[in-house]
Each structure stands twice: as structure tokens, then as C-alpha cells.
Structure 1
């Protein structure tokens, strides 16, 4: 504005530029922090997906190995167990006495 024509500007009109700069800086800070948080969220979600895929591949490779431990390489039948005869339980003191006599 031309100060010659209107004289001195009122105080409220003098501060408009400073307020505009503050608003623009606050907007810039808000947008940049939002972009940073969005980027961090995307990286963490990508990391989570990678961890889950790795865990699924690990479990899938582990299952056949565990099945090998569970299944025996030969046929098991209950007749084999009955041929052993009746099991007899002995107390620990009887077992200890027998081992002491052996020495």
C-alpha cells in the first residue's frame, strides 16, 4: 500500500506478513512430520510382512523334519510290546540296594 495516500498503516495491518509466515512455517512442519510418520509406518509394515513370511517359510521347512522324528523307519505293532511281558515296578531303594551289592 502507498503510505503517502493513506498515511500510516494501522497496527493490525502491519502484522499480517508475520502471521502469514508463522502459518506457513507451522503448515510446513505439520506436513513434513506427517510425511515422516507415514514413511516410518510404511517401513514398519513392510518389515512386519517380511518377518511373517520368513516365519512361515521357517515353519514350513521345520514340519517335515519334525515328522521324521515322530515316525519310525520301521513298522511298530502292539504285538511287539506284548512280547516284552508284564512290566514290574521296583522302588528306588530296591534298585539302590542291587547296585550297592554289585560293587
Structure 2
């Protein structure tokens, strides 16, 4: 069984600082290989890291862990003039509410 990688080990492999690994793991976990939580510490399996790097580099054609695209989030704020004009034209044509 391979030893799990620490944040320091992963930082050396990815050429990041150890603090950057922790920051990315908490703010953008999708930008790192999938981690294993052991208590409060993060660990990475070497084979998972290797396959993640291969996928990022485009060397692997398998999409075994490709996430499904989620629903498009609703826009925030006031619609643009173009969006409002398109909606008004659609409403005038009897298409939408």
C-alpha cells in the first residue's frame, strides 16, 4: 500500500507552496486532486494525484470522474437593455409571460 501524500508532498509535486495547497483545498477544492480527510488533516493518494495530473495535461482520454454540468445559475441584478428589449418583443409576439 502506498503512503498517502501530505500537503507538503503535494505542494512539491505541483510546485505550489504548502499554504497555497491549504487555501485551494478550502476555497476551490475542484482545482486540486480529490483529497482524503483524516481527522482535520488532508491526504492525497499518489495514484489519484498521478491520474489527475494526466487528465489535466490531456494525456488521459478516460472521463471516469468528469462531473456532470449543473444547472445554469440565475443571473443576479437588473437585466440589460438588450435582455429587456428581447423579453418585451417576445411578450408582444405572445410567446412568454
Question: Does TM, normalized by the shorter one, top 0.5?
Answer: no
Answer 1 or 2: which has greater strand percent: 2
TM-score, with length taken from structure 2? 0.24
Greater radius of gyration (CA): 1
* Structure with the largest fraction of helix: 1
